[in-house]
A and B are shown apart, each in its own frame.
Chain A
């Protein structure tokens, strides 16, 4: 299959803004959208799905970010969203979604349940993505700056990390042009959803060092009395001093120019 007739779907759901509680675009879903838009020649080639009963207005931010049409699958009370979605995704090669919900009704379980439902591999926490020769390659996010390359044959599900893309630009004109299409309700065996509060035991924090904050700061910054972690640069003109800083930053891969 060539990349031209690759069928790509993106799953989007409104998030809840952490400060105002208003519906907004979820960072991870937007990142998935950004990666998907790079794969297709124009936004019209994307299949964009949302399953849920949020207001159309809550989906507006995604339209403004460049989706031309969002297909809304109304779910019957208690119907399992993964199954509702899987029905629409049968002949899709690549399904992209956010790796976690931004509040609201979304759930970070969705990619897993969906992959299971579709019997397709899941590549979680993608930062970058390439498609070719019938397979998808993904650079996966791991904590502490680590990365891992994953590959799987298509069709596949990829859940995208929120850092995969800078926030997509928001354009009011696209919001006005975009469409929201309501598909007919899907009747499925209603599953039962149990909502229960997450229990989390407080874990006492163990300090890595017993030294006081001030001592640790002194250890980390440069002082004239050597014995600390840094260098004091007093000689030279500002350019030379800046050069020392730049070398330090380069050594630690904090800048790459």
Chain B
């Protein structure tokens, strides 16, 4: 037997199997709807892999190194094999390189193996446990093959045995690589992952520093009502689900999962994979949605009821902790909201207080069903002018729904005090201010969102102002990131950003004798992860002489308070409450006060019973340190 020729044969066999497998999987993706992506994305893969994806993976240096070694080694081996054996060059120099690459891959495979010895609970087992073995076999096979080729006849009769071993290793290990995509094995992630980088549904994620966190509008007039069955997803969304490596980083970050609510974001993505491949879902070997059995699905059958329980969908707080952590850049929140949209728009069965809140928004433009005229009652003695059409204000303050909450009214009053102390010309809209539509949108009620957004934009058109300031990160996110797609562009700042600027310019007169104190700070998801703003609040604290002890999960890794996405309205039961867990995080710092910068975080944390840290709003802290006028 001619050994190099056997290698050539093996290489081409693998290549053919891989191509057939890819065609098979691509047929599943193509069940999905058309998507607007450019093929040129394919050329961007290397940059996106080495910059964007590696940026996330590198947060876990061990696995990052292991992956670089295994994947880098494997790609090098394959490339060299393609050249040397696929194209039948048979150059000894390439064999030497192949030996080195195989060695690298072997080292990486050993690292992966050691991680699998006592794997963290978030990792999936099952087929994934066999992966280090397959990789090791392939590396050994490739190494032996290279060695044989280099040594020529020097090995004599042992060569025959070694050749057989090499071929066995390459065949067994290579099968994992070649068949993975076609049979849906673990190595599917390599092919699907790379293609996902090329055809990512949010291409803007890769362009510079721009965050891409806005939900995309539905065209309701052409009957776009979200996703009912797997085949309703765009094809590149289906592809994105296949990229998942079941690392469980999302699971470990998910507040709903930690609270024992029936949602595990990793399983959610795997459910979509089961659906797109019309499988029975029994092969899944990771943690389930708490309290839920494994279910099968079909690409043409409704997802809810079959594949997924409705409670799973409504437990999500849209906090984006999962998206933040996912090394494969999968968009869980888009998935959740697409499914919610279909339920809300075609059936309206939003659980618990969700439906009532939506009805209130439709009927009164407020979440709580309040009269609009009451929105600024808290400001009655503060002399804040209500802006009239034709007048001008430098700063327009939008208070949002927090204005109806008696606790948060204290914060709003403090904010007005601070802005006045800084001599800003601030005005409000009074009863002309509708809701921004955030809650409606997260609950999937795109129709009500678009109505409210339209109302807000046409209202704002009537007034003349330079900037908008709001203490509500949800309102901030809507106006800053989601209204532009509907044609509204505003200069808007979160109050923490404005106060930080004013402090930097020393425009806020502070008491000289203010006591220094220590607090901890809870980052709101919609300010931090949605807008990347984790510095401004901290600058404010620094500027007023307050020291912040950070929680373990803070900044971009902050844990949700449990309100987001309407989760406090849909109120899916779990074993714990999310705000209670967050209060435990706060307790762990030992701080006696926790600063918040969002009306909803305020309400959730104030709702925690028992001994706990005092909840204070950022503006209240500043107001307490104002110099007496």
Contact = CB atoms under 8 A, between A and B. Distances in A.
Interface stretch (A14-22, A38-46, A137-145): A14-22
Contact of A172 (B359, B371, B445): B445
B266 to A, nearest CB: 31
A173 B359 contact: no
Interface stretch (A163-171, A215-223, A234-242): A163-171
Contacts of A175: 447
A18 to B, nearest CB: 9
B158 to A, nearest CB: 73
Contacts of B358: 170
B345 interface: yes
A17 B346 contact: no
Contacts of B347: 169, 171
A174 B365 CA distance: 21
Interface string B354-382: 01101100111100011110000000000
Nearest to B446: A172
A41 B30 CA distance: 37
Interface residues on B, range: 20 to 34
Contacts of B345: 171-173
Contacts of B127: none
A193 interface: no
Nearest to A172: B447
19 contacts: A17-B363, A17-B364, A19-B363, A20-B365, A22-B364, A24-B363, A167-B355, A169-B347, A170-B355, A170-B358, A171-B346, A171-B347, A172-B344, A172-B348, A172-B445, A172-B447, A173-B225, A173-B345, A175-B447
A44 B13 CA distance: 60
Nearest to A177: B223
Contacts of B445: 172
A20 B359 contact: no
Interface of B: 220, 223, 225, 344-350, 355-356, 358-359, 362-365, 369-372, 445-448
A176 to B, nearest CB: 7
A20 B364 contact: yes
Contact of A174 (B346, B350, B371): B346
Contact of B348 (A17, A19, A169): A169
Q: Give 6 nearest A-B pairs by CB, closest first.
A: A169-B348, A172-B447, A171-B348, A173-B346, A20-B364, A170-B348
Nearest to B348: A169
Interface string A150-174: 0000000000000000011111111
B225 to A, nearest CB: 5
Given A19-B370, A171-B346, A176 B223 contact: yes
A168 B347 CA distance: 10
B346 A19 contact: no
Nearest to B372: A20
Contacts of A172: 220, 225, 344-346, 348, 445-448
A168 B350 CA distance: 11
Contacts of B349: 169
B370 A171 contact: no
Given A19-B370, A20-B371, A176-B223, A169 B365 contact: no
Contacts of B346: 171-174
A112 to B, nearest CB: 29
Contacts of B365: 20
A64 interface: yes
Contacts of B448: 172
Interface in A12-37: 17, 19-20, 22, 24
A174 B225 CA distance: 11
Contacts of A20: 363-365, 371-372
A172 B343 CA distance: 10
A19 B364 CA distance: 7
B571 to A, nearest CB: 16
A243 B334 CA distance: 44
A187 to B, nearest CB: 36
Given A22-B363, A171-B344, 19 more contacts: A17-B363, A19-B371, A20-B363, A20-B364, A20-B371, A20-B372, A167-B359, A169-B349, A169-B355, A170-B355, A170-B358, A171-B345, A171-B347, A171-B348, A172-B220, A172-B225, A175-B447, A176-B220, A176-B223
Contacts of A173: 223, 225, 345-346
A131 B577 CA distance: 45
Among B220, B358, B447, max chain A CB count under 10 A is at B447
Interface in A41-97: 64
Nearest to A166: B355
A2 B96 CA distance: 87
Scoring B223, B350, B362 by chain A CB atoms within 10 A of each residue's CB, the highest score goes to B362
A174 B448 CA distance: 14
A176 B346 CA distance: 10
Contacts of B359: 167, 170
A173 B349 CA distance: 13
Nearest to B365: A20
Nearest to B349: A169
A170 B355 CA distance: 8
A167 B363 CA distance: 14
Contacts of A19: 363-364, 369-371
A175 B371 CA distance: 26
A171 B369 CA distance: 19
Contacts of B363: 17, 19-20, 22, 24
Nearest to A65: B348
Contacts of B344: 171-172
Contacts of A174: 346, 348
A127 to B, nearest CB: 21
B196 to A, nearest CB: 31
A24 to B, nearest CB: 5
B481 to A, nearest CB: 23
A12 to B, nearest CB: 17
Contacts of A176: 220, 223
A39 to B, nearest CB: 20
Report which residue of B347, B348, B355 has the largest number of chain A beta carbons within 10 angstroms of its beta carbon: B348
A45 to B, nearest CB: 20
Nearest to B369: A19
B382 to A, nearest CB: 25
Nearest to B451: A172
A168 to B, nearest CB: 8
A167 B352 CA distance: 12
A111 B358 CA distance: 31
A172 B447 CA distance: 7
Contacts of B223: 173, 176
Contacts of A17: 363-364
A36 to B, nearest CB: 18
Contacts of B350: 169
Contacts of A170: 348, 355, 358-359, 362
A147 to B, nearest CB: 26
A227 to B, nearest CB: 30
A19 B346 CA distance: 27
A169 B348 CA distance: 5
B364 A64 contact: no
A232 to B, nearest CB: 21
A213 B348 CA distance: 44
Contacts of B362: 24, 170
Nearest to A171: B348
B372 A64 contact: no
Contacts of A167: 355-356, 359
Contacts of B364: 17, 19-20, 22
